[in-house]
Amino acid sequence: MSVITRNGSTGALTDDALPRKKTALDAVLNFIRRQPLGTAGLVIMIVMFLTAAFANVLAPFDPEENDFQAMMEAPSWTHLLGTDQMGRDIFSRLVYGARTALLVGFSAAFAGGLIGLVLGVASAYFGGWFDLVFQRILDVLMAFPLIILALAVVSVFGTGVFNVILAITIPLIPRCGRVVRASALAVREVPYVDAARALGFGHTRIVLRHMVPNVVGPFLILLSAFVGQAILAEASLSYLGLGGQEPVPAWGLMLQGGAEEYATTAPWIAIFPGLAIVMAVLGISLFGDALRDAIDPKLRDR
């Protein structure tokens, strides 16, 4: 067997002549080259993860320990980002606060996303009255802005980290369900779903094994957006006094605790937690956008 090479000569088919198979490293390098902003976002996320994972190593002080000898100290070599009104080291609180942000952000995003995914696909699959009723429920839930619905949930269930996760999860479910349903409607019409039905598979198997995997692309993009939204919602709830409570290190709570009161006399109390929230949400958003561009075939080669 012979093949015609690019220069028109013929020869044996060898490995050298075949296009080189792309490795994971190639994919990563390609992503970095094509998505510099997304890469920056990824770096921020990785730093955030590492910070959260190694908080006990990175933090020079106990984030919850009051030190009345060091109240509202400006940034220095001892306290890199200064101290707050209770004398607590702001850097240490930010480092531990990353744990709270990631815990709430990822838990709420995954829980809300997965429930929304299953319900959205099921809604598309079953159609009829189930789809009609389910979509109207989603309409009602989506009529409320995320933070308003989260506030309502917290006011019912109370404050605390777990309740905040629950409060953010509930508003995310319809947002995911609606988008996933749109993708799943197209998947429902493809022959392999009919084939699965003809083979007598149950609804659960068809939905979970044949439809859900085929809407994972848009779902992953949504998920990345949800993480950012959840972190922002957690910070907002904490800022309003409805999230985690003192002395838990949480970025929104750090803004709420004394930042307003000392904004002019000790601005570092407000600036650094605010920056942490901005960087985290920005990083996740940039990465999410880049991921969408990378996955979407229509945008991939632009």
Partner 1 sequence: MVVRKGLWVAGLGLAAVIAAGPGNAQTPKKGGTLTFMIPADSPPSFDGHRETTFATVHATAPFYSVLIRVPPDNPASTTEFVCDLCTEMPKPTDDGKTYTFKIRQDVKWHDGSKLTAKDVAASWNRIVFPPQGVTSARVTYYAMVDKIEAPDDSTVVFKLKRPTTAFLPALADPFTYIYKKEILDKDQKWYEKNIMGSGPFKFASYEIGQSIKGVRNPDYYHKGQPYLDAIEGIFADKQSVRVEAIRGDRAAMEFRGMPPSARDQLVKEAGKDVVVQDSDWNCGNIVSYNHKKKPFDDVRVRRALSLAVDHWGGAPALSKIAIVRTPGGIVFPGSPLAANKEELQQIAGFWPDIEKSRAEARRLLKEAGQENLKFELTNRNVDQPYKFVGTWLIGEWKKIGVTVEQKVVPTGPWFAAMRGGTFDVVVDANCQSVVNPVLDTAKYLPKKVYPESYGDYDDPKSIELYNAMTQETDPAKQRVAMRAYEKHTLDTEAHSIVTPYWYRILVIRSYVKGWKISPSHYLNQDLANVWLDR
SS3 string of 158-195? Answer: CCCHHHHHHHHHHHHHHHHHHHHHHHHHHHHCCHHHHH
Residue 271 CB, nearest distance to partner 1 (Å)?
16
What are the residues whose beta carbons fall under 8 Å from the beta carbon of 72, sequence distance 6 or more? 82, 83, 84, 85, 87, 262, 265, 266, 269
Residues in the chain: 302
Q: Which residue has the tokens 């995997």?
A: 213
The 27-66 site mask, x for binding partner 1 (CB under 8 A), equals -------------------------------------xxx
Contact between 71 and partner 1 per CB under 8 A: yes
Residue 164 CB, nearest distance to partner 1 (Å)?
13
- Chain residues 87-116 in contact with partner 1, contact rule CB under 8 A: 87
SS3 content of the chain, % helix, strand, coil (to 5): 70, 5, 25
Residue 274 CB, nearest distance to partner 1 (Å)?
15
Question: What does each C-alpha distance from 18 to 11, 31, 45, 164 come to in angstroms?
Answer: 12, 23, 37, 54
H helices present in 71-215, as ranges: 90-126, 128-142, 146-157, 161-188, 191-198, 203-205
Q: How many residues bind partner 1 (CB under 8 A)?
A: 21
The nearer residue to partner 1, 35 or 256, going by C-beta atoms, is: 256
Distance, CA of 240 to chain centre: 22
Segment interacting with partner 1, rule: CB under 8 A, options 35-43, 53-61, 85-93, 123-131? 85-93
- Chain residues 231-250 in contact with partner 1, contact rule CB under 8 A: 241, 245-247
Contact between 152 and partner 1 per CB under 8 A: no
Segment interacting with partner 1, rule: CB under 8 A, options 6-14, 97-105, 181-189, 262-270? 262-270
Contact between 267 and partner 1 per CB under 8 A: no
- In the complex, the residues that contact partner 1 under the rule CB under 8 A are 64-66, 68, 71, 85-87, 158-160, 241, 245-247, 258, 260-262, 264-265
